[in-house]
A and B are shown apart, each in its own frame.
Chain A
Amino acid sequence: MSDIQLWTLVFIFLSFTVYIGIAWRSRVKETAGFYVAGQGIPTVANGAAVAADWMSAASFISMAGLIAFLGYDGAIYLMGWTGGYVLLALLLAPYLRKWGKFTVPEFVGDRYSELVRTIAAGAAILISFTYVVGQMRGGGIVFSRFLNLPVAGGVGVAAAIIFTYAVLGGMKGITWTQVAQYTVLITAYLIPAAAISQTFTDFPIPQITFGQVLDELNALSIEFGLNSYTQPFTERPQLDIFLVTLALMLGTAGLPHVIIRFYTTKSVRGARYSAFWALLFIALLYTTAPAVGAFAKFNILEGLGGTAVEELPEWVGNWEATGLVTIDPEAETIGSISNNPAAGADITVDNDILVLANPEIAGLPAPVVGLVAAGGMAAAMSTAAGLLLVISSSASHDFYFRRIKKGHATEREKLLVGRLAMAGAVVIAVAGGINPPAFVAQVVAFAFGLAASSFFPIIVLGIFWKRCNAKGAAAGMVSGLTFTAVYMIWSLYVSPGSTVFGISPEGIGAIGALVNFAVAISVSKATPAPPAQLMEFIEEMRYPATSRRITPPSDDKAPETELGGA
């Protein structure tokens, strides 16, 4: 066993002992605790949990590598996956917290109608599911790479562990476990990044220092047949960059597993600050990623370019064994580098290995490599667990409890159905993770388009426009979804590669959201307004407290009154 494998085992074993220990200590018996942790999670902890929930294997393992090869255009992920939190904090989180229900379908069910609830529950399950498959795969790959298991075995081990602590602890267990996972993943991300920044520039804050290599990186990129690093719009046209960024932002704000988190805070105020902490914690990784991407690319171009094939550094051989780095058998010295196997470059480096291989590339010691592997696992596990919880709550609460039993079910029954739904989801996700459908990457983009074009518009309208009614919401959701799905299917399968105005399938969700808004508004205007009682509920959602103080808050003896003074 190599040093790297030994350290990987040590770190993964230690971190998993902690996760399972936490889940065991906080195991729950009532449904409320299972789904929303009894609304007793401190704000900072909730923020860290949101961050861990949100940052998946894609953020941790793939993003920096993608940026390294996309250059400027990688900003779609950086801005798209952070800017959504501003929308979430300002437009959604505090109001949904005040409304005080368990899930997104629950909110739209109360606000609009049972039909809208059912559509939303179906969409929530579909969106969460497409994600969970990717996470299982990510976790499985880390296990198989570092523990020498076949991928199927890796996926199985990952699934068993996630299932154990999600079922045991429910939301509360998951929340505290995710706080631990955030700590592991951010440490694992920042340590190698700081070390590399220190080596390059004698200063350990990569966010500040990576500007120093950009000039040389541009020159090197052009020399090896790549686009200039900081040059915008080399991979996608400007309009598409705009729309993809917008779609990712709207999708982020509409994703059910992120929104559900804001129900676990203690108060409306807590929901606002949770969003702040969440984005702060996410930003730590998201501002480091472009620096990691730039340094890694610089290292690769400078270290490999012009080198004779037999003199390549050791890490190339290590990763060549996984098939993620390939060298053209006819090449003698490296004259071109690409991430695209079709480009026929002398050496092809897969995006996904950059973060995992970075410590090796930079010559950092084996424990750091092991720590990074544990961080990748933490990222995959935490997101998968959060998604499983959404699937189980949508299935047991919104379908079973509301639709089938019409509200008549005991606590024990609900918990049991929730756990069964989770078990079912794990089994299907394992099958999906072992034999991923060829279109996994596209399905993930589809999930964002779905969330952007379905949930975001009708939730925002539901809060900010009292006049929006059930017919409008149902019509808006269905038309936004259909428009987005039809364009994606057309552009991906019916006539592959064709687009309108260069809008990619990833970006079409932004237009789908506009369609949803337009249809929901027109249909609502053409049909009767919601009942007056509902209007009053919406009104009350806008004010944090349940009752209003008439005199200033410094006076503890202040009389109180129902909102509105009536």
Chain B
Amino acid sequence: MVAIRAAGPPADVWEETRVSETDRAEEPDNSWREEYWKRNLRLMAILLVIWFTVSFVFGILLVEQLNQIVIAGFPLGFWFAQQGSIYTFVVLILVYAKRMDRLDVEYGVDERDQNGERP
């Protein structure tokens, strides 16, 4: 907090903002919080559905049906269980991190160090 403030606006601008914020303090506008959180939850839900589908659905529940399809020697269900689900997991986390980067910036809650860079 202190570090961010040091890199931020000159003291007078800061105070000005501070005052205007205090004025609104009786009815703080917190609707952005709800919006940010909802969008985070929606992203999570989509990614977790994919997580469940590649591992539990393709790799376990439908494995016998998918094994009828063979690609490069791999029965497809077997491939999902021993290879495909793991690749998907890696991609899911990367997508989550990238999307959250954007979401954080959009709502102004991304972290900045003294130099204004994202740590």
Pairing of A with B: yes
Contacts of A90 in B (CB 8 A): 44, 47-48, 93, 96
Taking CB as reference atom, which chain A residue is nearest B104? A544
> Does the CB pair A557–B93 fall under 8 Å?
no
* Contact partner, B87, options A214, A275, A283, Cβ 8 Å: A283
> Does the CB pair A269–B119 fall under 8 Å?
yes
Q: How far, in Å, is B87 (CB) from chain A's closest CB?
A: 7
* Contact partner, B86, options A82, A544, A553, Cβ 8 Å: A82
* Contact partner, B24, options A539, A542, A565, Cβ 8 Å: A565
Contacts of A82 in B (CB 8 A): 85-86, 89
**In B43-59, which residues have CB < 8 Å from any A CB?**
44, 47-48, 51, 55-56, 59
The answer to whether residues A547 and B4 also contact, given A276-B97, A539-B33, A558-B9 and a CB cut-off of 8 A, is: yes
> Does the CB pair A211–B73 fall under 8 Å?
yes
Of A73-81, A135-143, A345-353, the one with at least 4 CB within 8 A of chain B: A73-81
The docked-state distance in angstroms from the alpha carbon of A559 to that of B5 is: 9
B25-57 to A contact mask, C-beta < 8 Å, 1/0: 100111011001100100010011001000110
**In A528-566, which residues have CB < 8 Å from any B CB?**
539, 542-553, 556-566
**In A351-370, which residues have CB < 8 Å from any B CB?**
none
> Does the CB pair B86–A272 fall under 8 Å?
no
The docked-state distance in angstroms from the alpha carbon of A117 to that of B64 is: 45
Q: How far, in Å, is A275 (CB) from chain B's closest CB?
A: 5
The docked-state distance in angstroms from the alpha carbon of A6 to that of B111 is: 51
- A245 close to chain B: CB less than 8 A: yes
> Does the CB pair A86–B93 fall under 8 Å?
yes
- A91 close to chain B: CB less than 8 A: yes
- A280 close to chain B: CB less than 8 A: yes
* Contact partner, B85, options A79, A207, A215, A565, Cβ 8 Å: A79
The docked-state distance in angstroms from the alpha carbon of A560 to that of B110 is: 12
The docked-state distance in angstroms from the alpha carbon of A547 to that of B5 is: 9
The answer to whether residues A548 and B119 also contact, given A214-B74, A276-B93 and a CB cut-off of 8 A, is: no
Contacts of B73 in A (CB 8 A): 210-215
The answer to whether residues A545 and B111 also contact, given A86-B47, A232-B77 and a CB cut-off of 8 A, is: yes
> Does the CB pair B87–A287 fall under 8 Å?
yes
> Does the CB pair A290–B82 fall under 8 Å?
yes
Q: How far, in Å, is A299 (CB) from chain B's closest CB?
A: 17
Contacts of B79 in A (CB 8 A): 211
Q: How far, in Å, is A538 (CB) from chain B's closest CB?
A: 11
Contacts of B92 in A (CB 8 A): 86
- B69 close to chain A: CB less than 8 A: no
Tell me how many residue pairs across A and B have CB atoms closer than 8 Å: 200
The docked-state distance in angstroms from the alpha carbon of A83 to that of B32 is: 32
> Does the CB pair A75–B81 fall under 8 Å?
yes
The answer to whether residues A553 and B72 also contact, given A290-B83, A558-B8, A565-B24 and a CB cut-off of 8 A, is: no
Interface centre among B51, B108, B116 (most CB of A within 10 A): B108
A228-265 to B contact mask, C-beta < 8 Å, 1/0: 00101000001001100110000000000000000000
> Does the CB pair A566–B90 fall under 8 Å?
no
Contacts of A246 in B (CB 8 A): 56
Contacts of A276 in B (CB 8 A): 90, 93-94, 97
* Contact partner, A72, options B48, B82, B112, Cβ 8 Å: B82
Contacts of A551 in B (CB 8 A): 108
- A268 close to chain B: CB less than 8 A: yes
Contacts of B85 in A (CB 8 A): 78-79, 82-83
- A154 close to chain B: CB less than 8 A: no
Number of interface residues of B (CB under 8 A): 68
> Does the CB pair A267–B119 fall under 8 Å?
yes
> Does the CB pair B104–A275 fall under 8 Å?
no
Taking CB as reference atom, which chain B residue is nearest A72? B78
> Does the CB pair B75–A214 fall under 8 Å?
yes
> Does the CB pair B93–A85 fall under 8 Å?
yes
The answer to whether residues A283 and B90 also contact, given A75-B82, A557-B8 and a CB cut-off of 8 A, is: yes
B104-119 to A contact mask, C-beta < 8 Å, 1/0: 1101111110001011
> Does the CB pair B13–A557 fall under 8 Å?
yes
> Does the CB pair B82–A269 fall under 8 Å?
no
> Does the CB pair A272–B4 fall under 8 Å?
no
> Does the CB pair A242–B104 fall under 8 Å?
no
* Contact partner, A79, options B5, B13, B86, B119, Cβ 8 Å: B86
- A129 close to chain B: CB less than 8 A: no
> Does the CB pair A556–B90 fall under 8 Å?
no
Contacts of A91 in B (CB 8 A): 44
Contacts of B48 in A (CB 8 A): 86, 90
* Contact partner, A280, options B44, B78, B90, B110, Cβ 8 Å: B90
The docked-state distance in angstroms from the alpha carbon of A456 to that of B32 is: 29
Q: How far, in Å, is B41 (CB) from chain A's closest CB?
A: 8
Contacts of A49 in B (CB 8 A): none
- A273 close to chain B: CB less than 8 A: yes
> Does the CB pair A267–B9 fall under 8 Å?
no
The answer to whether residues A230 and B78 also contact, given A280-B90, A546-B1, A559-B8 and a CB cut-off of 8 A, is: yes
* Contact partner, B108, options A67, A78, A549, Cβ 8 Å: A549
Q: Could you tell me which B residues sit within 8 Å of A by CB distance?
A: 1, 4-5, 7-9, 13-14, 16-18, 21, 24-25, 28-30, 32-33, 36-37, 40, 44, 47-48, 51, 55-56, 59-61, 63-64, 67, 71-75, 77-79, 81-83, 85-87, 89-90, 92-94, 96-97, 100-101, 104-105, 107-112, 116, 118-119
19 new A-B pairs (CB below 8 Å) besides A276-B90, A553-B108? A75-B60, A85-B93, A86-B89, A86-B92, A89-B97, A90-B47, A90-B96, A94-B100, A208-B72, A211-B73, A212-B72, A214-B74, A245-B60, A246-B56, A280-B90, A287-B86, A545-B104, A547-B1, A548-B32
27 A-B pairs within 8 Å (CB atoms) are namely: A72-B81, A74-B82, A75-B78, A79-B55, A79-B59, A85-B89, A85-B93, A86-B47, A86-B48, A86-B89, A90-B44, A214-B73, A245-B56, A269-B97, A273-B97, A276-B97, A283-B86, A287-B87, A290-B82, A542-B40, A544-B110, A545-B4, A548-B108, A558-B9, A559-B9, A560-B4, A562-B21
Sort A-B residue pairs by CB-CB distance and give the 4 closest, nearest first: A211-B73, A549-B108, A75-B81, A559-B17
